Structure 1
Amino acid sequence: MHAIGRCLGTKEMKNYRKLFKQLFSEFLGTFLYLCIVLSAGIANETNNNTVVISLANGLVVASIVQMCGHVSGGHINPAVTVGALVCGHIKPLKAVCFVAMQVLGSVAGSAVAYLVSAAKLRGNLGATLPYTDTRHEQAFALEFLMTFLLVSVVLSVLDSKRGSRGLGSSPLAIGMCITGCYCASIPYTSSLNPVRSLGPAVMMGIYDAVWVYWAGPLSGGLVAGIVYRFFLGVSHYEYNLRKRSF
């Protein structure tokens, strides 16, 4: 039983103060993300300005990671949480709680975006759907690939064994990755985050392709976690060897 408890992370769930701060951090970060990026999407829906929407997503995520990263890691994305779980950065019980807070933050943020937007400009509130002539399986593949890259970058940031190998600002690296992925994917599909799609879908009742935006990013996050853990991450042997060399 003790071994099962250690695997699930029951002990760290008893540190209620720390847990509350982490859960609130994930809720607040996701709430702010949905509020702002949906507002940016609504403001640019008529001219479909790819660059503006991409920059809004990247800059907002970078800002939220800077704000919340020291508390919870600033996941604000179930796909990132899945990748972190596979790599051992978070235990299963806490991962479930993080995803629950992300879902709540998504719906709350989407509700605020709905309330503050003018009805004639609101459209579908930025609900994610495969664009014209893009099949669901094509959208799934794009979501998988883009999220794989995003989660791989996040895991490289979380990897403490890399030492000084990582260059520059972690929030900036994540934000730039998201901006690039959005620039590439907006003509076909645009989510990279299941809760980015969930909130508007709930508010507007648009569930036509919601499975694409859960299955694609979650699969990408899962595979990214496996690849980073076994192929890209610094092993304990390499880490100890590098420590002895100094």
Structure 2
Amino acid sequence: MNDTRRYVAEFIGSLLLVFFGVGSAVAAAVEGGVVVVALAFGFIMLVLVYTIGPLSGSHVNPAVTLGVLLSGKISPVGAVAYWIAQLAGAVVAAFLLWVLTRWGGVADQTGVLGTNSYGAHINMGGAMLLETVLTFLFVLVVLVVTTRTKHTAFSGLAIGLALAAAHLVGITLDGTSVNPARSFGPALFEGGDALSQLWLFIVFPLLGGALAALVAPLLLTGQPEKP
């Protein structure tokens, strides 16, 4: 029963993250849009950490779940269930956004349902590097701050700010993924380049998450030297 509740929490969390985050991109005004979208992603992530974090850990991101799996804090079966829930939540959120833009009278400011892509402002190799580094930062922050028990009250703030910072850097370049589920849902409904380039926004965020899992123990082990 507890496992089911965790999976439901990840489904709902992923749905809300994509709906509010990608939705902010779809509806954001042209001027100030980058800041608006970055803050929307950061704020909704912060809210989710405190809302569903005590239940599921508030991964809402397959790259985070991979990092947690490699850290030995979730079983392979549990990780797969999390991934299914996250992808399902992202698909439902993308469908709702698609309905709003097709039949709800909402003008899509991105023109591509807030999907991720490369080519206009960054090439494929640049997007590979960007997504790896941005996801590495985000997952590293998640793994470190959720392990340091002395500062758990502020973990949501750190995680939300890390996600906002990643978006401030990446939005104008490739739309910022750092989350395969976030890319997967909108790409299914947009099709075209977003769908053909989706592999990059799955593979390289996962790579960034795996690298973060390797580095995180180096920041958590050992005691500071006495003066």
TM-score, length-scaled by structure 1: 0.83
Among candidates 117, 136, 152, match of residue 140 of structure 2: 152
Contact 1:30 1:102 (C-alpha < 8 Å) held by counterparts: yes
Other structure's SS at 1:84 match: helix
1:150 positional shift: 0.5
1:50 to 34, 41, 44: 34
Tell me which residue corresponds to 1:243.
none
Given that residues 191 and 213 in structure 1 are in contact (C-alpha distance below 8 angstroms), is that contact kept between their aligned partners in structure 2? Answer: yes
Q: Root-mean-square deviation (CA), in Å?
A: 1.7
Name the residue aligned to 1:173. Answer: 158
Deviates more, 1:219-228 or 1:208-217: 208-217
Contact 1:136–1:209 (8 Å) recurs in 2: no
70-79 vs 33-42, which moves further: 33-42
Compute the displacement of 1:163 (Å): 3.8
Aligned pair count reads 216
- Which of 170, 179, 182 does residue 193 from structure 1 map onto? 179
- Structure 1's unaligned 5+ residue stretches are 1-16, 239-246
Cα deviation, residue 88, structure 1: 1.1
Maintained 8 Å contact 1:201/1:210: yes
For 1:121, give the aligned amino acid. Answer: A
CA distance in 2, matches of 1:36, 1:133: 25
What SS is found at the alignment partner of 1:54?
helix
Pick the structure with greater CA Rg: 1
CA contact under 8 A between 2:145 and 2:152: conserved in structure 1? no
Structure 2 vs 1, CA of residues 116 and 225 (structure 1 numbering), >3 Å: closer, same or farther? same
Note if contact 2:27-2:106 (Cα within 8 Å) is conserved in structure 1.
no
Q: 2:220 matched to 1:233?
A: yes
Q: How far did residue 48 of structure 1 move? A: 6.4
Distance in 2, matches of 1:89 and 1:99, equals: 15
Using structure 2 for the length normalisation, give the TM-score. 0.89
Q: What is the CA-CA distance between 1:167 and the residue it aligns to? A: 7.4
